[in-house]
Copies of this chain bind each other. A is one copy, B any other.
Amino acid sequence: MKQIIKRPLILITNDDGDMANGISVLTRLMCELGDVIVMAPDGARSGQSNAITVTQPVRYRLLEKTEGLTRYSCTGTPTDCVKLALNEILERKPDLLVSGINHGSNSAINVIYSGTMGAVLEGCENGITSIGFSLCDHSYNADFSIFEPYILKITKTVLEQGLPYGICLNVNAPIGTIKGVRITRQCEGHWTKEFAKRIDPAGRSYFWLTGHFENHEPDAQNTDEWALANGYISVVPTKIDLTAYDMLETIENWNL
């Protein structure tokens, strides 16, 4: 796992689009650490999970090229961005993929909906050390400044230590003062009351996604939700292998 890289090649993407403040901050930080290629969606792609664009083609275009930094935008999803960068842009596999900084939490079950984390899983599948960074603040002008030194420290440490194949990191930060970093697990919970119903001028119903997160284990102190609620940055080591190994024997015994 240990690796020493002089001037790492860093791929950046996000799901809030290439104009978001979060990716600007992340790009500035990563330029301190290595040579940076940005391939970000050309607009908001929140909640795009690991979606890939299959019914239409995708395109990309160059936005900026300076010493150590090249930025592209792409018409597709965050996962498309990673695939395009790896297959069509980069001359070698990057040493690191970072995604974000997301405007909004990707803790608990949100990891499965997140376009930010979709891109991270995509990097992970391709054998790239990959980290997703999110701040629990949806606002356009969210303040990432308190999070910044932690992002640098976490990234430097991951570059030094490496991660095994199939493992990536889901890093979320609370709003306001940060007490420190907790290594946590994905909190169990689900969303309820998920739609706001509206009626259009023709009298037909339509539904906006909204909702309330119900934490199934509010007292557990080793979850990402607990860390965030108590002022800590949460780091969840996250897998691309979804197999429930504990269940293999039980289901074997069903004699299907």
Which residues of chain A have a CB within 8 Å of any CB of chain B?
A: 44, 46-55, 57-60, 77, 79-80, 83-84, 86-88, 109, 111-113, 118, 121, 125-127, 150, 153-154, 157, 161, 163-167, 169-170, 181, 183, 185-186, 188, 190-191, 193-195, 197-198, 204-209, 233, 235-245, 247-248, 251-252, 254, 256
A88 surroundings in chain B (CB, below 8 A): 195, 197, 207
The answer to whether B256 and A113 have CB atoms under 8 Å apart is no
Cα distance A235–B83 in the bound complex, in angstroms: 28
Residue from the set A111, A153, A240, A241 with the largest chain B CB neighbour count within 10 Å: A241
A157 touches which of B79, B127, B181, B256 (Cβ 8 Å): B256
A236 surroundings in chain B (CB, below 8 A): 242-243
The answer to whether A188 and B166 have CB atoms under 8 Å apart is yes
Residue from the set A48, A52, A254 with the largest chain B CB neighbour count within 10 Å: A52
The answer to whether B248 and A183 have CB atoms under 8 Å apart is yes
Closest chain-B Cβ to A13's Cβ sits at a distance in Å of: 15
A252 surroundings in chain B (CB, below 8 A): 183
The answer to whether B118 and A185 have CB atoms under 8 Å apart is no
The answer to whether A243 and B185 have CB atoms under 8 Å apart is yes
The answer to whether B51 and A47 have CB atoms under 8 Å apart is yes
A242 surroundings in chain B (CB, below 8 A): 111-112, 170, 186, 236, 238-240, 242
Cα distance A59–B209 in the bound complex, in angstroms: 11
A58 surroundings in chain B (CB, below 8 A): 206-207, 209
A-B contact pairs, 30 of them (CB 8 A): A47-B53, A48-B49, A49-B51, A49-B52, A51-B77, A51-B113, A52-B113, A58-B206, A60-B207, A80-B209, A83-B209, A84-B195, A87-B193, A87-B194, A88-B197, A88-B207, A111-B242, A112-B118, A125-B190, A161-B254, A166-B244, A169-B251, A183-B252, A186-B242, A186-B243, A236-B242, A237-B243, A237-B248, A237-B251, A238-B242
